[in-house]
Structure 1
Amino acid sequence: MLTRIRSRYLDLLGSIYIYNEHRGYTAIDRVLEAVRARSPGDRALIVSIEKHRADERKHYVMFKRWFELQGRKPMALDRHFGHIDRFIEIMFRRTIDRLDTQEIVARDELFERLCRVISLTEQRGYRQVETLLANRFVRSDPALVRIFEVIRRDEPSHWAPYDGWLREHAKREPKWWERAVDGFIHSELLLLKLPILFINPFVKRREDWADDGESQPDRYSDHLRPVAA
């Protein structure tokens, strides 16, 4: 019984993470579009966000390889299981796909808000990875541990460019209520959505990969090979 519970938990955990990593790098494409239009001469900012995008893609590929080694695809989850999805919807009152990049470029307060949302999301992600690396179910899977160790190493550089932009432009830090929204989204996923997903026998697996059709070189699965061999 414990083995089945562990397997189910890790399966769902991996499915949630691979969804969020794919959502992360595709959403950052929109951020890069805004930054390149808004501050074309700020190469340091653009390069740091490009690295963030590359890391999110790398994490996605590692989770994809983790599922491939098991001979299955992740669960078919949607934006209701995405942290950044929920945060954007609450803070901008629209989905990521409906964000108007030109409006964000044109209005300082919107770009500032976007920077705070991304920074809080990334910092939340770092704290969650620390928790997961102490989880006995996660520790029982060496490949998954390897993935989360890579994410823990990468994560601090992800919120740095957005915090840096806020400081350099004399913008405020997140207020208590923005941190409360971040905490609410995390609690909602952990305490409500994940348990419901766990006991739902009708959740289907994806029939394809989220990145099918994307021309992306998969250079990152080497992180898994030593422990998967």
Structure 2
Amino acid sequence: MIDWFRRRYLDLLGSIYLYNEHRGYTSIDRVLEAVRARSPDDHALIAAIEKHRADERKHYLMFRRWFERQGRMPLKVDRTCGHIDRFVEIMFRRTIDALDTRAIIADDAQFEKLCRVIALTERRGHRQVDVLLNHPIVRRDQRLMRIFGIIRRDEPSHWAPYEGWLKANGRRDPRWWERAVDAFVHSELLLVKLPMLFLNPWVARRSDWADAAEPLRQASAVPHAA
């Protein structure tokens, strides 16, 4: 029973992270396109967001390899398990896929809001990784520990471009209610959605990888730690 509990927990944890990392870099693709169109000469901002995108893709591939080494596919989770999905839905009153990214980038007030959402999400992710690195179940899986160690190292550069833009343009920091929304989204996932998925025996596994339709992945870019 204990072994089953441990396997189920790690299976679900890896599946949720796999979804969120894929959602992360594919969403950043849209942000990058709009920023390049709006501010083509802001090379520092573009480069920082490009690094964020590359790291999210790298993290996705690490989790994919983690599952491949075990010879099984991840569980089929969707946007209900996505922190950024839920945060965007609350803040913009529409799903990520329904956002008009170009319109948001063209409007300083909307871009300001998006920057705060992304920065809060990344900082939340960094804190959660610290928790997981000390989790007794996670600590028994050395490959997963190395993956989370790499994520912890990468994360601080992920909120930097968005907080940097806010500061450079005299925009405000997140207010208490925005931090409260972030905390609510995290608690909802941790205390409601995760237990429901854990106890649901009918959660199917994916039949293909989320990036199956994308260009051939660069396996050589994935750290050996995975």
TM-score (norm. length: structure 1): 0.96
Matches within 5 A, 1:50-61: 50-61=50-61
Counterpart of 1:139 in structure 2: which amino acid? R
Counterpart of 1:118 in structure 2: which amino acid? I
Matches within 5 A, 1:55-204: 55-204=55-204
Instruction: Name the Cα RMSD after superposition.
Output: 0.9
Q: Is the 8 A contact 1:18 1:60 kept in 2?
A: yes
Look up the SS of the partner of 1:202 in the other structure: coil
Shift of 1:59: 0.2
* Matched residue, 2:19: 19
Look up the SS of the partner of 2:219 in the other structure: coil
Shift of 1:145: 0.1
Shift of 1:105: 2.4
Look up the SS of the partner of 1:145 in the other structure: helix
Please list the CA deviations of residues 110-133 of structure 1 after superposition, one character each: whole Å capped at 9, or x if unmatched.
Answer: 101000000000000000000000
Look up the SS of the partner of 2:220 in the other structure: coil
Q: Identical aligned pairs, as a percentage?
A: 68
Shift of 1:208: 0.1
Between 136-145 and 100-109, the greater mean CA deviation after superposition: 100-109
In 1: Cα distance, 2:154 partner to 2:3 partner: 31
In 2: Cα distance, 1:151 partner to 1:222 partner: 11
* Matched residue, 1:48: 48
Displaced runs of 4 or more, over 3 A? none
Structure 2 residues not aligned, in runs of 5+: none
Please list the CA deviations of residues 141-180 of structure 1 after superposition, one character each: whole Å capped at 9, or x if unmatched.
Answer: 0000000000000000000000000000000000000000
Shift of 1:103: 1.1
How many residues are matched? Answer: 225
Q: Is the 8 A contact 1:121 1:182 kept in 2?
A: yes
In 1: Cα distance, 2:122 partner to 2:18 partner: 15
Counterpart of 2:114 in structure 1: which amino acid? L
In 1: Cα distance, 2:145 partner to 2:108 partner: 40
Instruction: Decide whether aligned partners of structure 1 residues 220 and 108 sit closer, same or farther in structure 2, where only a CA change above 3 A counts.
Output: same
Look up the SS of the partner of 2:149 in the other structure: helix
In 2: Cα distance, 1:224 partner to 1:209 partner: 21
Q: Is the 8 A contact 1:37 1:105 kept in 2?
A: no
Look up the SS of the partner of 1:219 in the other structure: helix
Shift of 1:34: 1.7
In 1: Cα distance, 2:116 partner to 2:141 partner: 34
Please list the CA deviations of residues 89-110 of structure 1 after superposition, one character each: whole Å capped at 9, or x if unmatched.
Answer: 1111111111102211221111
Shift of 1:33: 1.3
Instruction: Work out whether 1:219 is the aligned partner of 2:220.
Output: yes
Structure 1 residues not aligned, in runs of 5+: none
Shift of 1:87: 0.6
